[in-house]
Amino acid sequence: MNKNNYQNIFLGNEAYNTVISPRFNENYGRNLLENYLDSEDNENVDYSSVENSSDESSQYDNLEKTLREEWEELEIDESNNWFEVIGTICQTILSEFENLDEDDGKINSWFYLYKTLSEFREAEISENNAIFEKFLSTLKESRLTDPKDYLNYEEEKIWNEIKELKQEKDSEWNKYHIGTWKYWFQKEFPTIEIHANI
């Protein structure tokens, strides 16, 4: 499934809007039951949701915590790749700094490219996070009727595909990031090689 398919599933479908279940404590739930006990509409009231809301919330919270920890590990990998490249670029620039004039446009060019790539990266991160948050929203809604603290087969499959999509996009971004800087150095500093192993 490509990126656009995921955007349609997780971003463009209003059926997956978050539904927030009410949280009742035990006393409030008992009072609610007593107040409606004599109501003509009492047969239509689902009181089971009052008793189970706390447990359901706890189960979902545990699941969300686990998924967020997995997602954070992927984000750390992406950040490490970003800072490794930026660190290498800065070392290379500093090695040539003494040879540059104060009015040399290379520094401005470097700063502009750094800023542009940073904005591209932030947009990519935001898009990935939006897909992830929409997935969590979908899970939360489904747990209102089927409370559990684990993913079923279909959910697990989708979750793995979301993680794989992020890893693929992060890998492609890293290649683009490195390639862009190499091209810039060939243009601005054709006689030097970039430090380290990017």
Q: How many separate domains does the chain show?
A: 1
pLDDT attached to residue 68: 97
Highest mean pLDDT: which of 42-46, 85-89, 188-192? Answer: 85-89
Helices (H), the chain: 3-10, 26-36, 48-96, 105-142, 153-188
What pTM was computed for the model? 0.66
The reply to whether 45 falls in a domain is no
Token look-up 């997780």 returns: 10
84, burial (CB in 10 Å: exposed 0-12, middle 13-18, buried 19+): middle
pLDDT top residue among 75 and 143:
75
Q: Please state, rounded to an integer, the average pLDDT across all residues of the chain.
A: 75
* Any domain includes 26: no
| Range 146-172 average pLDDT | 94
Which pLDDT band holds residue 75 (cuts at 50, 70, 90)? Answer: very high
Distance CA 13, CA 7 (A): 9
pLDDT score recorded for residue 29: 35
Name the more confident of 187 and 31.
187
Q: Using an 8 Å Cβ cutoff, are 70 and 166 in contact?
A: no
d(CA 99, CA 94): 10
Give the C-alpha separation, 189 to 179, whole Å.
Answer: 15
Q: Assess if residue 194 is contained within a domain.
A: no
80's CB contacts (< 8 A; 6+ apart) are: none
Percent above pLDDT 70 for the chain: 66
Please check whether residue 123 lies inside any domain of the structure. yes
Question: Which range is most confident: 33-42, 106-115, 123-132, 141-150?
Answer: 123-132
- The Cα-based distances of 191 to 59, 90, 187, 194 in angstroms read 60, 17, 10, 10
Domain of 67, in residue numbers: 3-13+56-188
Question: Quick check: 44 pLDDT over 60?
Answer: no
Query: Residue 100 domain-assigned?
Result: yes
Region 158-172 average pLDDT:
96
Q: Is pLDDT of 40 > 90?
A: no
